Chains A and B, each alone.
Chain A
Amino acid sequence: MLRRQSVLPGFSLSLGVTSAFIGLLVLLPLAALAAKAASLRPAAFWATVSDPRALAAYRLSFGASLAAAALNGVFGLLVAWVLVRQPFPGKRLVDALVDLPFALPTAVAGITLTTLYGPNGWIGRHLEPLGLRVAFTELGITVALTFIGLPFVVRTLQPVIEEMGTDAEEAAASLGAGRAQTLWRVVLPTLLPAWLTGVTLALSRALGEYGSVVFIAGNMPMKTEIAPLLIMTKLEQYDYAGATAIALVMLFASLLLLLAIGTLQAWSVRRSLGEAAS
């Protein structure tokens, strides 16, 4: 199994523990999911997953999730950077609060965001005159998805920025690189793998999210109906097979996305290695 012998111990032990967990908690349940979806005849399966309403839901789910992941990618990087590098009053508190989107039940997040961004809410009230409707539109869905994915990018980047220190930047600067050049050639390549990890996690979390979105989405069929809601409506008709069929499509698409980003990440690691060495 091992491609190369290692002096490091624990291969069998860690392999055993990992496979036991993955087997029991991931493979077995997902096999049950696939088995249920397979109880549909191929034609029925196809009809379920290619229904115009389902297609609209996939488009919305992937679109809003990508937008939220991108937003988190930009601002998560900024927040992580500021939290590690810039001193400002109340920084410890801010740092502590970043994890809270995980701890708040998603429904609470959804209700609160709808209250705030609704037409008469604290924030929505000021956006409405600008012609910006947030609640019950795609924009609102993106806001909710950004909220629930916020900790991922920040928290995956933070340890890496801490670890990185300022040595490499100072080195680059002493070799005559400008600040922008240093950021572009030294800092960003170093952060890229972790940044991609964070964005991937935020993206996959957004794709599956249900609890917070249903409150702010408005749930209009063909317009603001996300894929997980479609799964719920199938379950409500006791159509377990149809629900698992949609779930399987979403899962497969996310898996492809995860693999694509994984490849990008492997490439970025190789590239930054090559660049640093040259």
Chain B
Amino acid sequence: MSAIVAARRAQPLTPPAPSASEDSRPVRLALTGAALVFLGLFLFVPLLAVFAEALSKGGEAWVAAVSEPEARAALWLTLKVAALSVPLVTVFGVAAAWLIARFDFRGRRLLLALIDLPFAVSPVIAGLVFVLLFGRQGLFGPALAEHGVKVIFAVPGIVLATLFVTLPFVARELIPLLESEGRDEEEAARTLGASGLQMFWRVTLPNIRFGLLYGVILANARAMGEFGAVSVVSGHIRGLTNTLPLHVEILYNEYRFQAAFAVASLLAFLAIGTLVAKALLERRIGGSR
């Protein structure tokens, strides 16, 4: 944010006292303690409960639950949907952030509000809108049916719904970062004769890489975990259009609680996997510079 830049400009040249930005030890302990208690009640204990239930019948039952053919098909579909939607959301996010943060044009604030809008739409409605568009009684339904194109109750519909719910993530993460970076470096690069692409790869991208990573990871987590919107457009065909979250629901509805939680814990592991990837990537980027 521009506030950071402003704060930096206000900085004096004399070297500051080394410990002025630090709190006293009891204060730090209290802060850390309060944060951990909050996380404990709202995050760790629930996660622990998921894993406890997932492993309540032992490791073998866990392996059996996540490796049955329907779970494998659901995992496959979930990965496929994420692989298709996250890159698109990333392209959109970078383009939209660049547009919003670097140019001053008419309708800029309206565009910003439109980018946020999908967050305010209930997941149920997010699925329903695509039914209204592409369903049999929808706007484009008859035309699509004539050409034998399936959008909803098939993979394209699931990807569309996922795109809708994840659309704002990357853009939202990048806009404040780009704004706080300012455009001086990029303008300098252009004046020195860099091409647009060179400027982007050499100047912009290195500056926003952590924000970009965060955005992609959040979008990915949400893409894999989305239930409501996908549930409306999936059709729930076993082994074909069930994603992992939908498979979890089905297991739960069959009274197979342990299996349901085992598959849910698999989703948690996938999310942790992307975070490990992030940490490795951060180290590599950090090391190469």
Contact = CB atoms under 8 A, between A and B. Distances in A.
Chain A–chain B contact at Cβ < 8 A: yes
A246 to B, nearest CB: 9
B221 A102 contact: yes
Interface in A239-272: 240, 243-244, 247, 250-251, 254-255, 258-259, 262, 269, 272
A253 B10 CA distance: 40
A32 B244 contact: no
Contacts of B6: 272-273, 276-277
Contact of A17 (B41, B95, B117, B177): B95
A255 B120 contact: yes
B235 interface: no
Interface string B30-44: 011011101101111
A259 B42 contact: no
B260 A32 contact: no
Contacts, number: 358
A219 to B, nearest CB: 15
A224 interface: no
A250 B138 CA distance: 23
Interface string A161-177: 01110111111111100
A41 interface: no
A92 B123 contact: no
A209 interface: yes
Contacts of A83: 35
Contacts of B260: 108
A276 B211 contact: no
B149 interface: no
B118 interface: yes
| Residue in A208, A247, A277 whose Cβ sees the most chain B Cβ within 10 Å | A208
Interface residues of B, number: 118
A7 B187 contact: yes
A139 interface: no
| Residue in A3, A75, A272, A276 whose Cβ sees the most chain B Cβ within 10 Å | A276
Given A33-B125, A122-B49, A231-B125, A21 B186 contact: no
A210 interface: yes
Nearest to A228: B122
B273 to A, nearest CB: 10
Interface string B111-150: 1111111111111111011101100001100000000000
Nearest to B12: A171
A6 B11 CA distance: 29
A43 interface: no
A154 B13 CA distance: 32
A3 B104 CA distance: 6
A130 to B, nearest CB: 14
A25 B102 contact: no
30 contacts: A2-B104, A17-B95, A22-B111, A82-B35, A96-B276, A98-B43, A105-B248, A105-B249, A105-B264, A106-B227, A106-B228, A112-B53, A155-B173, A155-B218, A159-B173, A159-B214, A168-B7, A168-B10, A182-B21, A193-B176, A197-B176, A205-B119, A208-B123, A235-B128, A240-B132, A247-B121, A251-B121, A255-B113, A273-B6, A276-B10
Please give me the 6 A-B residue pairs with the lowest Cβ-Cβ distance, nearest first: A173-B20, A103-B271, A105-B245, A170-B16, A208-B122, A9-B196
